[in-house]
Chains A and B, each alone.
Chain A
Amino acid sequence: QVTLKESGPVLVKPTETLTLTCTVSGFSLSNARMGVSWIRQPPGKALEWLAHIFSNDEKSYSTSLKSRLTISKDTSKSQVVLTMTNMDPVDTATYYCARTTIFGVVIRYYGMDVWGQGTTVTVSS
């Protein structure tokens, strides 16, 4: 059974750095056809993709947040870590991690096929 679980602080202060951990089970972060993405959703708003990382350490970041985000993985611990610097109240959201599978052989299509339950982060002084 594939599961992902997000963990991190519930409350952070403005200007602080947020560190979130995604612990996965049921698949390996060394699997060449899988990676992990982070997505967030402010209350009542749409989903926003933040970043992803794959087994070969290929990474990509949201254009608008690139300067504030860092994604990394520890394959031995089955964990993916996302850090976001200089937190602001507008960053208040539910943060999800999701397994990202590469579908197809000739053409690589990507889909976020298993999601964690999400963790709610509030930014307030």
Chain B
Amino acid sequence: DIQMTQSPSSLSASVGDRVTITCRASQSISSYLNWYQQKPGKAPKLLIYAASSLQSGVPSRFSGSGSGTDFTLTISSLQPEDFATYYCQQSYSTRWTFGQGTKLEIK
């Protein structure tokens, strides 16, 4: 299976900060990479698909980039509602896998 590794595992930041989360695949996955946001007690929400395409209704401060094995999720200016856990997920292989998550906390 393709292993997805996120870094960092946790991150403290302030409102207004620019934040970047990294996801690395154990083999090339082209652009078959999605990002999700999950708040405590809630279901995940799709933010980015195909590595860089913004899902409908998601604020433009979220952006994704990368291809092959290295990907990033960037939040340009953190808002209070952005503090959550973020997951990457690959759909390159027929057996999909998630990263271990990055918890974004308020500094």
Chain A contacts to B: CB under 8 angstroms: 37, 39, 46-49, 52, 60-64, 96, 98, 103-104, 107, 109-113, 115-118
Q: In the complex, which range does the number of interface residues on chain B fall in?
A: 20 to 34
Main secondary structure of the interface of A (DSSP, over half): strand
- Whether B44 contacts A115 by the Cβ 8 Å rule is yes
Residues in A whose Cβ lies below 8 Å from that of B46: 111-113
Chain B contacts to A: CB under 8 angstroms: 1, 31-32, 34, 36, 38, 43-46, 49-50, 53, 55, 87, 89, 91, 94-101
- Whether B55 contacts A113 by the Cβ 8 Å rule is yes
Partner of A46, one of B49, B53, B91, B98: B98
- Whether A49 contacts B31 by the Cβ 8 Å rule is no
Residues in B whose Cβ lies below 8 Å from that of A37: 96
Nearest residue (CB) in B for A94 is: B43
Contacts A46-B98, A47-B101, A49-B89 given; does A103 touch B53 at CB 8 Å = yes
- Whether A96 contacts B91 by the Cβ 8 Å rule is no
Give me the 6 closest cross-chain CB pairs, A-B, nearest first.
A111-B49, A115-B43, A109-B50, A110-B91, A49-B96, A60-B94
Residues in B whose Cβ lies below 8 Å from that of A61: 95
Residues in A whose Cβ lies below 8 Å from that of B94: 60
- Whether A63 contacts B1 by the Cβ 8 Å rule is yes
Q: How far is the CA of A60 from the CA of B90 in the complex (A)?
A: 14
Given contacts A47-B87, A64-B1, A112-B46, 11 further A-B contacts (CB under 8 A): A39-B98, A52-B96, A60-B94, A61-B95, A98-B44, A109-B49, A109-B50, A112-B44, A113-B55, A115-B43, A115-B44
Residues in B whose Cβ lies below 8 Å from that of A109: 31-32, 49-50, 53, 91
**B34, chain A: closest CB distance, angstroms:** 5
- Whether A60 contacts B91 by the Cβ 8 Å rule is no
Nearest residue (CB) in B for A113 is: B46
